[in-house]
């Protein structure tokens, strides 16, 4: 067979007896030997083998009984002799194909991971955008803008409870600040006559009496304000 007759060819075979005596070998095998790993003709042993010259082969080994022409003619006097046959094919083309396939799979995998990372980044960034807008709105609130309310219709369902609680908190703060302003204004009106009388230079006893009256008025209003706060809260 021509494929086995080329020196250093890509296909080799080695035929031996069960006791290791060589029957025939291919020219492409040279002086090397193939390992004796054999199975039945129905289930040959498949293995890899390397030669001293650096070539690597994918081999199949089997044991079989050669048929003699005399047996076909009815001469059954000779005992059957079993032979071990190992054939191999150079792995270089297969290894090259596997390497190309491995490189292609790595490239596809790397590209898929890059696209997936970009999609995840875009999705997370888009999903967190409403939260970022809500945070910016909260940071912009001060004492002069307590009447601000967060529009719940523009927020996703996950942020609606947060916006609702923030709106309730702003309403309570606005009410508390309004009560504080009313208390400050009333306290100023009550304290103003006492301050004005104190500046007239009257007697010390009369001055002390006015301070007591002013303090009593402030305490009554403070109790009334506290009661309003409890009812209103």
pLDDT tens figures, 128-185: 777 777 788 778 777 777 777 777 777 777 777 888 888 888 888 888 888 887 877 7
Judge contact between 40 and 82, C-beta under 8 A: no
Q: May I ask the CATH architecture of the domain 2-69+78-90?
A: 2-Layer Sandwich (3.30)
| pLDDT of res. 232 | 45
The pLDDT confidence band at residue 231, using thresholds 50, 70 and 90, is very low
More confident call, 212 vs 207: 212
The arithmetic mean of pLDDT across residues 187-194, rounded, is 63
What's the DSSP call for residue 157?
G
Position 76 scores a pLDDT of 54
Residue 206: the pLDDT is 56
The pLDDT, as a whole number, for residue 140 is: 78
Confidence of residue 84 (pLDDT cuts 50, 70, 90): very high
8 A C-beta contact, residue 87 and residue 16: no
Most confident stretch, 8-17, 71-80, 222-231? 8-17
| Residue with tokens 């000779």, as numbered in its chain | 78
Domain assignments of the chain as residue spans, ordered by start? 2-69+78-90, 93-140, 152-232
- The CA angle 123-128-131, to the nearest 5 degrees, is 160
């Amino acid at each position: 067979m021509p494929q086995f007759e080329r020196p250093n060819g890509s296909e080799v075979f080695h035929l031996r007896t069960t006791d290791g005596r060589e029957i025939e070998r291919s020219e492409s095998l040279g002086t090397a030997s193939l390992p004796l790993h054999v199975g039945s003709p129905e289930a040959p042993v498949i293995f890899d083998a390397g030669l001293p010259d650096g070539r690597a082969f994918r081999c199949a080994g089997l044991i079989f009984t050669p048929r003699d022409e005399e047996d076909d003619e009815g001469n059954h006097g000779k005992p059957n002799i079993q032979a071990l046959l190992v054939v191999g094919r150079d792995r270089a083309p297969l290894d090259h194909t596997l390497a190309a396939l491995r490189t292609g799979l790595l490239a596809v995998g790397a590209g898929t991971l890059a696209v997936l990372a970009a999609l995840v980044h875009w999705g997370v960034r888009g999903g967190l955008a409403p939260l970022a807008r809500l945070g910016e709105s909260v940071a912009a609130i001060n004492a002069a803008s307590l009447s601000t309310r967060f529009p719940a219709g523009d927020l996703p369902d996950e942020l609606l409870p947060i916006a609702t609680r923030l709106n309730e908190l702003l309403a309570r703060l606005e009410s508390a600040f309004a009560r504080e302003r009313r208390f400050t204004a009333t306290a100023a009106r009550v304290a103003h006559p006492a301050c004005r009388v104190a500046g007239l230079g009257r007697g010390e006893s009369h001055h002390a009496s006015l301070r007591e009256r002013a303090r009593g008025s402030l305490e009554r209003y403070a109790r009334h304000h506290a009661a309003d706060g409890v009812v209103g809260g």
